[in-house]
Amino acid sequence: MSASQDPSSQQAIARWGINPMAPYLGGIATWFLANGLQFVMVPTLVIITLGGTAGDLAAAQVALALPQVFLMMFAGSLADKSDSRMILLWVNLLAAIPPIVLGWLTFSGQLAYWHIIIFGLAMSASFAFMVPTRDALLSRVASGNIQNAVMLALIAQFAAQLMGYVLAGAAAPLAGPWALLAMQTVALLIGFLLTLALPDFPPVPSQDEGSSGWQAGFSIVWKSAVMRPVILSSVGTGIFFIGIFMVTLPLIVTDIFDGGQLEISILNFTFWGGTIISTVGMMARRPIERRGRAMMGALIVGCFALMLVPLAPSFAAVCAIAGAWGLAAGVNMTMARTIVQVEAPPEARGRVLAFYSLGFMGSAPVGATLSGIVTELIGPLATTFICAASMLVLVSVLIATTPVWRIMRHEDEPQ
């Protein structure tokens, strides 16, 4: 179904005279500001505060991703059948509790490794409900070009994560890691207040009574020659790229270049800075017509960039590589999300987008586990090269065996 025929894409009625897109983007920003702080906070607590190993960090990152595997599809089904505003309100409010508890334990010197694991499980469960609900709302709060709406949402996400890294780096010489958890709590509570300004979003009526369960998401995706290779590429990204991002790059910073919280923040900043630059650059031009080609080409660039990490002579060189990877990732994420948003039927969009997110984030525990095991055996530099080369093989197979290279923008989409 094209965007122009989508009954869920009509502009939502404003609450209190506020354009729904404003609190929607604000909610994304506060959530990913908290997420950016968390990206720095977890490696800092595990490696620096507790003196953990690569295996310890990998297990903590698995805890931050594992519940999504079991909850994401249920959460997508719930988003399709419930008032999405209420889901977002509860998720923001409940997600503020774990950082309050962990922050106090860290501040009082009572932190233990198992506390981080419980924190990771709780935050991952919150993420599972937030992501498909938020993604399914995009076409309902936006008007006009869906590709531009996707890019606005991604820019809000990337910029907020960058701010999280900036705040984490600025806090490093001033306070301990507990300060990151305090800021994370504040961001989530602000997100709750912003979500109050969203209008109600009742479920979109379904034309197919047999598609009410979460299994519909899998069925719709698997039967789509367009969405199936996009989801498979997202699974590969979760396994081979997210493992690098969550485990090996922080260890390269700490073990190879003797860095700490500040350097981890800088490395994350360069990656997400690259994603913002490429996404803003795409907004300045007409919608991309050859979406599949742009998506797969960006993945290839990312693979070659990461394969250069073992050759990097300095921390600055690793940051430059991370920036190049970020430039490519901005293109890949924009194209993949746009393709799925356009192709998903409106009455099952939450489940389809949940399946997309499950492929991307649900495979992260596998990637983190593999990265941790391989890193213990051969070190983080060689692990990064092997993961990037494996992703390049998967991309090549998808281009050779699926129509992903030929995915085009729909002619009737708004400019």
- Mean pLDDT (whole number) for 239-251: 86
Residue 187 tokens read as: 């961001």
CA neighbor of 388 nearest in space, from 316, 321, 290 = 321
**Mean pLDDT, range 142-146, rounded to an integer:** 68
Q: Which amino acid is at 151?
A: M
Express each pLDDT in 258-272 by its tens digit: 887 788 878 888 998
Integer Cα distance of 60 and 31 in angstroms: 20
Six token digits for residue 385: 């090269």
Q: What is the pTM of this model?
A: 0.72
Give residue 4's pLDDT.
42
pLDDT at 92 over 90: yes
The tokens of 215 are what?
Answer: 């299994």
Mean pLDDT across the chain, nearest whole number? 84
Better pLDDT: 1 or 254: 254
Q: What does the pLDDT read at residue 205?
A: 62
Q: Which helix (H) or strand (E) holds 308?
A: none
pLDDT at 201: 79
CA–CA dist 268, 282 (Å, integer): 22
3-9: average pLDDT: 43
User: 177: closest CA among 188, 162, 167?
Assistant: 167
How far is 381 from 244, CA to CA, in rounded Å? Answer: 10
The rounded percent of the chain whose pLDDT value lies above 70 is 90
- pLDDT by residue (tens digit) across 33-68? 998 888 888 888 888 888 888 788 888 878 887 887
Least confident residue range of 10-14, 30-34, 42-46, 92-96: 10-14
Query: Tens digit of pLDDT for each residue in 189-228?
Result: 999 999 999 888 777 665 554 445 556 667 777 788 888 8
Q: 140 and 8 in contact (C-beta within 8 Å)?
A: yes
Examine the pLDDT at 241 and tell me if it is beyond 70.
yes
Contacts of 69 (CB under 8 A, 6+ apart): 358, 362, 365
122/18 Cα distance (integer angstroms): 32
Hey, what are 31's tokens? 């959530």
Residues 6+ apart with CB under 8 A from 297: 331
pLDDT value at residue 345? 77
Confidence of residue 7 (pLDDT cuts 50, 70, 90): very low
Indicate the class that CATH gives domain 16-198+213-406. Answer: mainly alpha
Q: Tell which residue, 244, 229, 258, has the closest CA to residue 359.
A: 229
Query: Which of 75-79, 195-199, 322-326, 343-347 shows the lowest per-residue confidence on average (mean pLDDT)?
Result: 343-347
CA–CA gap between residue 347 and residue 209 (Å, rounded)? 10
Q: CA 245, CA 180: separation in Å to the nearest integer?
A: 19
pLDDT tens column, 270-291: 998 898 899 888 877 777 788 9
